[in-house]
């Protein structure tokens, strides 16, 4: 059966592991998406709607975390973290939840990193 999965934050860590596991089971295609760019989200959602009629699996994994030793000012860390971990996740859900096919699933992963 042909299924479509969208995994954000798949350039490293858990997201990359999820994509690798999916690609071992299914043929996979790569589509660039910047979750911090609303136009990128819209364009990608439109593509999946037109090309595949929606998605079966959405894994919202993109996230930002700063380590204790990061020299970035708190205000910068807060802005970047909120933009990616809250607003981008909200925007992904706003555009992709309507595309989830019957029987499909949405998973949101959140983690905290301390170094």
pLDDT tens digits, 34-91: 999 999 999 999 999 999 999 999 999 998 888 889 999 999 999 999 999 999 999 9
Torsion of CA 58, 65, 83, 12, to 10 degrees: -40
Q: Is residue 114 part of a domain?
A: no
Q: Is residue 17 part of a domain?
A: yes
Domain that includes residue 94, residue range: 5-108
pLDDT of residue 103: 96
Whether the model pTM is above 0.95:
no
Q: How many CB atoms lie within 10 A of CB 55?
A: 21
pLDDT of residue 112: 61
Query: What CATH number does residue 96 fall under?
Result: 3.40.50.720
Q: Is residue 113 part of a domain?
A: no
CA distances, 64 to each of 34, 58, 109 (Å): 13, 19, 12
pLDDT of residue 1: 64
Domain count, the chain: 1
Q: What is the mean pLDDT of the chain?
A: 91
Tens-place pLDDT, residues 26-46? 888 889 999 999 999 999 999
Q: Is residue 31 part of a domain?
A: yes
pLDDT of residue 64: 87
């Amino acid at each position: 059966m042909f299924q479509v999965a969208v995994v954000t934050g798949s350039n490293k860590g858990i997201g990359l592991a999820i994509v690798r596991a999916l690609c071992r089971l299914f043929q996979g295609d790569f589509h660039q998406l910047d979750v911090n760019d609303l136009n990128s989200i819209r364009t990608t959602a439109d593509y999946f709607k037109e090309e595949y009629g929606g998605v079966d699996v959405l894994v919202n994994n993109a996230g930002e975390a700063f380590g204790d030793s990061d020299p970035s000012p708190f205000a910068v860390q807060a802005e970047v973290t909120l933009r990616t971990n809250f607003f981008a996740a909200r925007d992904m859900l706003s555009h992709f939840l309507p595309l989830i096919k019957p029987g499909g699933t949405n998973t949101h992963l959140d983690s905290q990193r301390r170094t």
